[in-house]
Structure 1
Amino acid sequence: MSTSSSLPEHSSFIKTLPQTLKGIKKRAKKICLPGQKHAEALDMVARELGYRNYRQAQQKLASGDVPPETASNQNRHSVFLSAYWRDVDTRPRSAGCETLEIFLPRPVNSIVSKHQATYARNLEGFRQEAADHFEMISNANSQVRAWELLVRAAFTLQFMQVSGLHPATSQKQRQALELLTDFPLKDHLSLWIDPTSGTWVALDEPYGHVNDVSNVTKRAAWISDKALHLTKPIWAGLYYPDNAVPHLISPNEALVTKITGSLEALSPIATVPSEDQPWSGTSESYNARFTSPARKASGVARRVRPGTTYGFSKGAVEYHREAGHPLHWRPEKPLSQPDHKRVGQNSSA
């Protein structure tokens, strides 16, 4: 069963730290432990802000300095990813809401638009609920699965931020996939577009058998014959991180070489929990309905997920509901035989 914990404070979606001497004193008073000297607490807060001690903070702030940590946080934009889950295999049945916060160097919609995001691998099942929040529409079948899906979604946002690529969204853009129809051993293919040049980049993620020498040779010959370029970044990938083997393919050699270098320099933006690594997100009850700072600041009520509220329709009865899907209705009164025939004719027309 999930446990509840609170999210950190945010201001404009960035961790709140004091920026004045008055603020430092207020925070020091708040965090001061029993038996601890107030001066020690002042030094602790000053170090949070990037200063050696409170005395240096006094000198710098008096001269109009911006705290180092505050300045660096101005380039850290929070994005929240949330997923709901119901596990019917536990006794008693369990459910919850998981929320993962990640930080990007710029606002998420400067990396990918709301429309484009729904085409990106690992984000297809999400909707952008607010400027800083992506919410999974349907339910995961367990807490562990929810964690996995959130981490993969985080990897996708990090991939787009680092590579500068957008997911292919139009039929014209996706025509490039036809060129790869007979690419040997291709698997879990996703297509991306460089917005500057319009050049396509395919991310191919087959399993480990692709590393067999005969398969490597076969694929390399095909790439050469098609005048394409292939790289194999040492990177976790998106489809099944650290289990599939990612390859980048494109007609532009310089582009895939550049992206490969960027991906290989990455540190994972999130981690799936394990025995050695606890969950870094927040676990709440299924009915928590996480509301992000941007949604709260907008003053507009958050939207509910499809299939999670009760509806009413005159002359109809709801007969099926599933989170993430529209409600199913049937007529309140049984149809007559002629009406059944008429409905059948209309549906087959």
Structure 2
Amino acid sequence: MSNNHVRPSSISGIKQLAKRFKKLEGVSHIVALHKASMAAGFENYRHAQRALGEKRATAQRAFALYISVLWRDRTTSSSGCEILKMRLGKPLDALVKPAQYKNGLAAMRREGPDHLADLYTEPSQEAAREAACKIARKIQFMEATGLVPSGANRSFPKGSFQNRMPGSDHDAGWYDPVAKGFIRTSEPYSRGGVTPEQHEWAARHGWAVVKAPWKGMYRPDDGTSLFLLADVSKGYSLEPLISRLADAPPPIVISDWQGESRPTAPAFVSPGRMAEIAAKAREVKTLGNRARPINSTEYNSLLSGTRRWPKARMPIEQHKAVGRLLKSVLIGTRGRAGVYRRIEAMRCELDSRAEHEYGRDELSDEVFFDLYYHELPESDPLAAVPGSLHRHIASLGEIKAILARHYPECPQLRKLLKKADQAIASLLTWKVAPPAGDEPKLRQSVRPAM
């Protein structure tokens, strides 16, 4: 099977194919786009833009996933927690079931509906980041292909490990729940294609071996390539998987680290887990037949059920301003739980709210991740640990003013402002301000979705 016949299913895939036509056939860019669009099953490029644009607009909103990995460097006596945030097209629990963790995600545990935590403590910050990226790549692969991890021997020809493909390295078994078939992946250190020996093995067993257009899960930035293997003697086709991988986002790699770094304590609690805890707390309360506030609107959250929020949306620039101020308060207040935990709760709530208020067409991943969860740049005056607590108190006052200006008065807003008031009260009774420079920096960056 040749990758030249992969049928694109996205605008980016059509553009990539058009570049290939332009290079191989010497045609103009417009002609190449037209040919690529027809190869994708459309009348022309405009038809493809219209059809795929509508498909994207009606697609399900993305969901956030946080991957956390602890580390401890014994040579420097330093430690921390690396957190990588990524966006998925479906919830974690819809992507992989608990019983499937023992195969492809054996080193991870589910900490919440949007949080995977590593079971092991890595020996360095670099190792922790690499572990988080590797898990993220497995999640990317599962989401792109629809495959789930499998430890069944049926993923080998005739169900035997002895029939493993020659040259296999870093291989794994997978199951296709739609086509009801088993496949294997192999990720050797190779820049070449399928070898003659592997072609002979495939022919002998009635299997197919294809090099994927996606770089893979193991070490895509360090020389490995991804190969897909499947039994095609009964009609199974690898072409749909190859097509989906051609349109998949690039593998998440450590060289483009977009995660956050934080101390090991207090332990990281994801927004989804916080929502679960809050939902359980609400279950024990009797709400009665209270009238619903007219200044708030109801929306459904997969993580915590039906919720309410002020009937308005705050401008993105104001979300940026509030996020910057919240990050500045978190700097230097880790030793004051009465402040830190309340500000973390505010940050989680507003991060979730921003995602509900703005779709991806209005708020890109890059901007969204930076609103509330990226570290302040060193050039920002608020990035330094203040010598006194007055700056934090002033920042919280400014946050309250912005929220009150852009959201109507209602119980949900009052709860948020109350957290700010409680944080201020805790700051006012904090007898010893943290010395400048003693506290670790906030965290570095990541991103997620709902």
In the aligned structure 2, how far is the partner of 1:177 from the partner of 1:148? Answer: 33
In the aligned structure 2, how far is the partner of 1:73 from the partner of 1:287? Answer: 38
In the aligned structure 2, how far is the partner of 1:297 from the partner of 1:236? Answer: 36
Deviations 1:140-160 (A, max 9, x none): 111111111111111111111
Deviations 1:103-126 (A, max 9, x none): 001111111112213311xx2211
In structure 1, the partner of 2:66 is 80
In the aligned structure 2, how far is the partner of 1:223 from the partner of 1:257? Answer: 16
Gaps of 5+ in 1: 1-70, 302-349
In structure 1, the partner of 2:125 is 143
User: Would you say the 8 A contact 2:79–2:263 is kept in 1?
Assistant: yes
1:48-87 aligned at under 5 Å gives the runs: 75-87=61-73
Deviations 1:251-295 (A, max 9, x none): 13653121112112222253313xxx4x31111002231101121
User: Would you say the 8 A contact 1:84–1:136 is kept in 2?
Assistant: yes
In the aligned structure 2, how far is the partner of 1:176 from the partner of 1:132? Answer: 38
In structure 2, the partner of 1:258 is 240
Deviations 1:150-179 (A, max 9, x none): 111111111111101111145666786616
Change (3 A) 1:76 1:169: same
Deviations 1:10-41 (A, max 9, x none): xxxxxxxxxxxxxxxxxxxxxxxxxxxxxxxx
In the aligned structure 1, how far is the partner of 2:60 from the partner of 2:190? Answer: 41
In structure 2, the partner of 1:240 is 219
SS at match of 1:127: strand
Within the alignment, does 1:96 sit opposite 2:80 as a pair? yes
SS at match of 2:254: coil
Deviations 1:69-114 (A, max 9, x none): xx88961100110000001123xx2110011110001111111112
Q: Which moved more, 1:191-200 or 1:251-260?
A: 251-260
Amino acid aligned to 1:284: R
User: Would you say the 8 A contact 2:154–2:182 is kept in 1?
Assistant: no
In the aligned structure 2, how far is the partner of 1:79 from the partner of 1:269? Answer: 16
1:2-41 aligned at under 5 Å gives the runs: none
User: Would you say the 8 A contact 1:227–1:251 is kept in 2?
Assistant: yes
SS at match of 1:208: coil
**In the comparison of the two structures, how many residue pairs are matched?**
221
| TM-score, scaled to structure 1 | 0.58
In the aligned structure 2, how far is the partner of 1:221 from the partner of 1:111? Answer: 35
User: Would you say the 8 A contact 1:102–1:270 is kept in 2?
Assistant: no
Change (3 A) 1:286 1:262: same
1:106 to 90, 93, 97: 90
1:189-200 aligned at under 5 Å gives the runs: 189-200=171-182
Amino acid aligned to 1:112: V
In structure 1, the partner of 2:169 is 187
Question: What is the RMSD computed on CA atoms of the aligned residues?
Answer: 2.7
1:124-135 aligned at under 5 Å gives the runs: 124-135=106-117
Q: CA deviation at 1:180?
A: 5.8
SS at match of 2:169: coil
Change (3 A) 1:171 1:185: closer
In structure 1, the partner of 2:262 is 284
SS at match of 2:133: helix
1:170-319 aligned at under 5 Å gives the runs: 170=152, 178=160, 181-208=163-190, 211=192, 216-242=195-221, 243-252=223-232, 255-268=237-250, 270-273=252-255, 277=256, 279-299=257-277
In structure 2, the partner of 1:46 is none
SS at match of 1:231: strand
User: Would you say the 8 A contact 2:215–2:251 is kept in 1?
Assistant: no
SS at match of 1:144: helix
In the aligned structure 2, how far is the partner of 1:85 from the partner of 1:177? Answer: 39
In the aligned structure 1, how far is the partner of 2:83 from the partner of 2:150? Answer: 27
Q: CA deviation at 1:229?
A: 0.7
| TM-score, scaled to structure 2 | 0.45
Deviations 1:282-313 (A, max 9, x none): 11002231101121112289xxxxxxxxxxxx
Change (3 A) 1:105 1:199: same
SS at match of 2:103: coil
In the aligned structure 2, how far is the partner of 1:255 from the partner of 1:74? Answer: 27
In the aligned structure 2, how far is the partner of 1:168 from the partner of 1:268? Answer: 24
User: Would you say the 8 A contact 1:176–1:200 is kept in 2?
Assistant: no
